[in-house]
Structure 1
Amino acid sequence: MVNSAEFAKRLQKILDYYSISATSFSEEIEVNRSTISHLLSGRNKPSLDFVMKVIQHYPEVELYWLLNGKGNFPSEKIIEKSAPKAPKVSQSPVETENSPEKTPKSPIRDSDIERIVIFYKDGSFKSFKN
């Protein structure tokens, strides 16, 4: 069960993190301003529709953290995105004169790929197996 007072604190933390007013937040997720006011005061508990709108519009907000206060905000997944990315795998070998190895590496073959997973912003995904 969601604790209204604790949920209100987490909702306020989201507003502070994004430096937005309750009115701007309500416009962004397309809910009535009074809904935000009632949630912030602890008068009402959040509806499923409200929670889903928040996590869809703000990917840094984890569902479990929003509902129960357990987990992280901002989400570690988003923090990882800002970390340096791994180099892209090339389909064809690239040699430079300073390269320690002059032997070209073999390109990736379809038989080398076990599975490809595509993740969507809404949290859903598709998995393709070879």
Structure 2
Amino acid sequence: MVNSFDFAKRLEKLFEYYDLNASSFAEKIDVGRASISHLLSGRNKPSLDFVMKVVKTFPEVELYWLLNGKGNFPQQAQPKKEKPAEEISTTTPLSANKQTKTPQNFSSENNIIKTEQISSKKEIQRIVIFYTDGTFEAFNHS
């Protein structure tokens, strides 16, 4: 659960870092000024939509830091090890010890979902990888 008081302190750090006031911050992430006021006073907790707007607008903000205060701000640039597009696998392994609903296109012989069987109307918007140490990496489709 997000601690409203600590979240407000982290928002104030963002204001200071980006040299913004609450009003200009609200305008930058496209939310009402009252929303910022309610968050800073502790009256409301941040919505997922609000948090995602902050992370999307300010790439130096780590999601985990914003929500829990753990991690770094500003986010330290780390070289990304990205595969060229032609090397990216078209299959996704499933963890054998997790219980999940079995999709129609699931092959139990090799524990993979074949993405080529998924409707061609769907596009990947974002991939998020969560690590056991509580960190994550997010990759957005351009």
Q: TM-score, normalised by structure 1?
A: 0.62
1:115 shift after superposition: 3.7
Counterpart position of 1:14: 14
The separation in 2 between residues aligned to 1:62 and 1:115, in whole angstroms, is 28
Question: Quick one: percent identity of the two aligned structures?
Answer: 64
Pick closer, same or farther for the CA change 1:25–1:125 going to 2, 3 Å: closer
Pick closer, same or farther for the CA change 1:52–1:125 going to 2, 3 Å: closer
Counterpart position of 1:5: 5
Q: List alignment gaps of at least 5 residues for structure 2.
A: 80-85, 89-125, 129-137
The residue correspondences of 1:44-83 to structure 2 (distance < 5 A) are: 44-77=44-77, 80=78
Counterpart position of 2:105: none
Structure in which a larger fraction of residues adopt strand: 2
Q: What's the RMSD between the two structures over aligned residues?
A: 2.4
Q: TM-score, normalised by structure 2?
A: 0.57
Deviations 1:59-105 (CA, angstroms, capped at 9, x unpaired):
0000000000000000012xx57xxxxxxxxxxxxxxxxxxxxxxxx
1:43 shift after superposition: 1.2
The separation in 2 between residues aligned to 1:39 and 1:2, in whole angstroms, is 11
Structure in which a larger fraction of residues adopt helix: 1
1:124 shift after superposition: 2.4
The separation in 1 between residues aligned to 2:48 and 2:140, in whole angstroms, is 21
Counterpart position of 1:28: 28
1:125 shift after superposition: 5.2
The separation in 1 between residues aligned to 2:20 and 2:54, in whole angstroms, is 14
| One-letter amino acid of the structure 2 residue matched with residue 45 of structure 1 | K
Figure out how many residues of one structure are paired with residues of the other and give that number.
89
1:52 shift after superposition: 0.2
Pick closer, same or farther for the CA change 1:125–1:25 going to 2, 3 Å: closer
Q: Which has the greater radius of gyration?
A: 1
